[in-house]
Structure 1
């Protein structure tokens, strides 16, 4: 008889696996877009149908007694649903399915048994929720407890004599029930995990598509803003270039008139019998000096705007290296004597006689670097050294290096990067004490790039600075 019951249990398991597989396909291709309530209702109907199919194909002992795996759908429900009261409802529903096979003592006992199992499953679920028990532990406890109580209920409530059932039937059905329900539970778990993975993959794909769409929209917005900023920058640069050009014309006239007044006053003093207004000469000299400073500022702004607008042209030609020291030495030699500084120019004899570059822009860079060196040096010396690059410079190829070295105030390391930005100086007090706008190094850096080179700086606060202009020899 146990062999017949075992065969019936195996058939029950095959039926349950088939239903579970079909349910998985239905969920994947049909119910995946359904609402949560519809999925909940359909899942309950599948539980009841699985239990009914188990009883329909169960082993019938006599006319009334049926041995089957109807409690396995209850175990699956206990592991799937979160609410304990749902398990009581499942137990009642499966119990009513048992009554569909006839109203008799055996069917009433079977109905009562499965309802009791539903209540027990609900109590266990409530306990698991409170103690946050893992899936494996829950599955093991549900399988053992449900199978054990099922055997106990059948032996006490069923129509088969207690002693006969305990001795001849219960050992085989309990073992087969535990083994088969365990196999089905973990098989169903694989279905659940696959469904969850598919759902997570779908959600991930949806999220990635949404993010891709948002990134595309953001890219369009950024491109539009970049165009607007570029256009605004172009308008600004063109405005500065035009304004600088327009301002230079009247300013040159003011400077020339101030110079004429100053020279006229000086000549009147030298002529016997003629007097001049000393204040007029002094004021004219102030106007002349201020005009020169303003003209230099306008020229810097003009150069900066041309660089930003991409309109600064480089006129490369072959220039003599020997002429460069003379061109930059004379303007600063008088300033060095006035400040009591030592000023020297050194040239490496290994340098070639000529280089191919824009001589005017090279002189402009060197004048800016030397002007800063003299401005921030009150004692000591300033030097300009022209040499070929060496291995210690860590550069590849052949370069000519113009080193401007001073013994001035130096620059702290945290300001090394910012001083090359337009309108930036190492300290806010620098502008008030020494003057200047902070455009010289920014323009020099941009000009060096246009000439194919770069500027490197070494400086420590209080120990002076060294600015090196690297230009390619070839």
Structure 2
């Protein structure tokens, strides 16, 4: 009866220790790294084995009977990792040395060390076997209890006959029953941990989904703003376009009607003047229609680029001839300079290059009331790692109204100008820069902008050499 009494005391201590360990785990190391959890488990298991020995049944001066091997059984079922089990077995065995060094102590160390290796082997089987969990529990409990009895017979200091006939029937039976009780307790603990883990993972998943939904909400709100802005810009574009189309069309219709109705009374000079206005109005309409067609082709990816030799030295003369009249009418100084390092011929699309430069110069003349406008053609070298890139640069600089820094990006978008009053005051549809930017990209280059409000602007077209 003394053996049972001590074993039940051991059981109460181990249950209390398991409960305290559960509380500590839940409230301190639940979210700790896996390494800390393993170390904590090893320390707790060794401490539980030592407590069992402290309250064990003392037979004679040195022999102690207890449930110190139960933490090994629990660890095999809860943490089936061989190295941890060997460590726990050796650790519990070594704690036996705290009761003095003698033959029984050595036997105790050897017994628990062997049980540690046995449990390590069992853990491999537990992890790999497809048998039901309750069968695995029974096998582990039975094997460890039997090996403990065999080790005591082989290495213990108690006489074999006395142990087999008087002690083993009670201690082995009690050990099996109490080990099974602990197996059920640890199974419940494992299920609780599993549920907690599932709840934690579910919370993490919900948090991630909530964050993703928040991000998607921001993206949708941004897209809604963009759609609203796009709708607004297109409405403004349609209003501007109707004005841009109506003005030259009215000129064509009114003047042609005037010529038709008063053909006999008009002299040659008047007819020539009206014809010139009709001609210019027709050109404005054609340019507007061409811009819209070019934009549509760029967006559809159907704009053709025909690269051939372009004589750069002819550009200053062509543009001077084209814009000198506009400069004279507005009282502006207009200069075109060509750097001596610029090659005479480059390989690009002459029509598209001239179209970009015309757009940039037209804008410069439109938004410059006084001062000067210049076109400077130069070269530029840029080092990108081991690669040396060379560019030909067309700088269009003016002393016009300038562009605020926050507007630098949007003016390159279709249908947009620096602000809504620009179209009403200066005219235009806001397509020129967008088309020029797309054309530059198709030619392998790009356009940069340096400008401040009321300080003029410099648009630079970069084309690869």
Specify the alignment match of 1:50 in structure 2: 48
For the residues of structure 2 that align with 1:259 and 1:196, how far apart are their CA atoms? 91
Specify the alignment match of 1:70 in structure 2: 68
Change (3 A) 1:149 1:82: closer
1:173 aligns to 2:171 (yes or no): yes
Specify the alignment match of 1:467 in structure 2: none
For the residues of structure 1 that align with 2:40 and 2:188, how far apart are their CA atoms? 20
For the residues of structure 2 that align with 1:161 and 1:79, how far apart are their CA atoms? 33
Specify the alignment match of 1:4 in structure 2: 2
| 1:214 aligned to which of 209, 212, 215 | 212
> What displacement does 1:36 show?
2.9
Specify the alignment match of 1:25 in structure 2: 23
For the residues of structure 1 that align with 2:225 and 2:44, how far apart are their CA atoms? 61
> What displacement does 1:154 show?
1.6
Specify the alignment match of 1:468 in structure 2: none
1:122-153 deviation line (CA, Å, top 9, x unaligned): 12223344446554333221101001111122
Q: Is the 8 A contact 2:72 2:85 kept in 1?
A: yes
For the residues of structure 1 that align with 2:244 and 2:152, how far apart are their CA atoms? 108
Specify the alignment match of 2:153 in structure 1: 155
Query: Superposition pairs for residues 280-359 of structure 1, below 5 Å?
Result: none
Specify the alignment match of 1:13 in structure 2: 11
Unaligned runs of 5+ in 1: 263-297, 299-474
For the residues of structure 2 that align with 1:148 and 1:11, how far apart are their CA atoms? 22
> What displacement does 1:252 show?
8.0
Specify the alignment match of 2:78 in structure 1: 80
Specify the alignment match of 1:107 in structure 2: 105
For the residues of structure 2 that align with 1:138 and 1:102, how far apart are their CA atoms? 37
Moved more, 174-183 or 119-128: 119-128
1:394-451 deviation line (CA, Å, top 9, x unaligned): xxxxxxxxxxxxxxxxxxxxxxxxxxxxxxxxxxxxxxxxxxxxxxxxxxxxxxxxxx
Specify the alignment match of 2:91 in structure 1: 93
| 1:121 aligned to which of 94, 119, 122 | 119
For the residues of structure 2 that align with 1:82 and 1:175, how far apart are their CA atoms? 25
TM-score between the two structures when normalised by the length of structure 2: 0.51
1:98-137 deviation line (CA, Å, top 9, x unaligned): 2222222222222222111111111222334444655433
For the residues of structure 2 that align with 1:72 and 1:258, how far apart are their CA atoms? 111
For the residues of structure 1 that align with 2:22 and 2:142, how far apart are their CA atoms? 26
1:12-43 deviation line (CA, Å, top 9, x unaligned): 11111111111111111112343333322222
1:320-359 deviation line (CA, Å, top 9, x unaligned): xxxxxxxxxxxxxxxxxxxxxxxxxxxxxxxxxxxxxxxx
Specify the alignment match of 1:186 in structure 2: 184
Corresponding residue pairs, total? 266
> What displacement does 1:242 show?
4.3
For the residues of structure 1 that align with 2:68 and 2:118, how far apart are their CA atoms? 15
Specify the alignment match of 1:143 in structure 2: 141
Q: Is the 8 A contact 2:80 2:124 kept in 1?
A: no
For the residues of structure 1 that align with 2:23 and 2:191, how far apart are their CA atoms? 14
Q: Is the 8 A contact 2:10 2:55 kept in 1?
A: yes
For the residues of structure 2 that align with 1:183 and 1:258, how far apart are their CA atoms? 109
> What displacement does 1:165 show?
2.0
For the residues of structure 2 that align with 1:256 and 1:137, how far apart are their CA atoms? 103
For the residues of structure 1 that align with 2:210 and 2:126, how far apart are their CA atoms? 42
| 1:35 aligned to which of 33, 39, 61 | 33
Q: Is the 8 A contact 2:67 2:175 kept in 1?
A: yes
TM-score between the two structures when normalised by the length of structure 1: 0.50
> What displacement does 1:229 show?
1.7
For the residues of structure 1 that align with 2:96 and 2:132, how far apart are their CA atoms? 32
For the residues of structure 2 that align with 1:132 and 1:85, how far apart are their CA atoms? 22
> What displacement does 1:215 show?
2.1
For the residues of structure 2 that align with 1:37 and 1:85, how far apart are their CA atoms? 13
Change (3 A) 1:13 1:163: same
For the residues of structure 2 that align with 1:253 and 1:31, how far apart are their CA atoms? 85
For the residues of structure 2 that align with 1:234 and 1:116, how far apart are their CA atoms? 82
| 1:205 aligned to which of 199, 203, 213 | 203
For the residues of structure 1 that align with 2:128 and 2:244, how far apart are their CA atoms? 83
| 1:230 aligned to which of 228, 249, 274 | 228
Q: What's the secondary structure of 1:30's corresponding residue?
A: helix
CA RMSD of aligned residues (A): 3.2
For the residues of structure 2 that align with 1:258 and 1:148, how far apart are their CA atoms? 118
For the residues of structure 2 that align with 1:52 and 1:165, how far apart are their CA atoms? 23
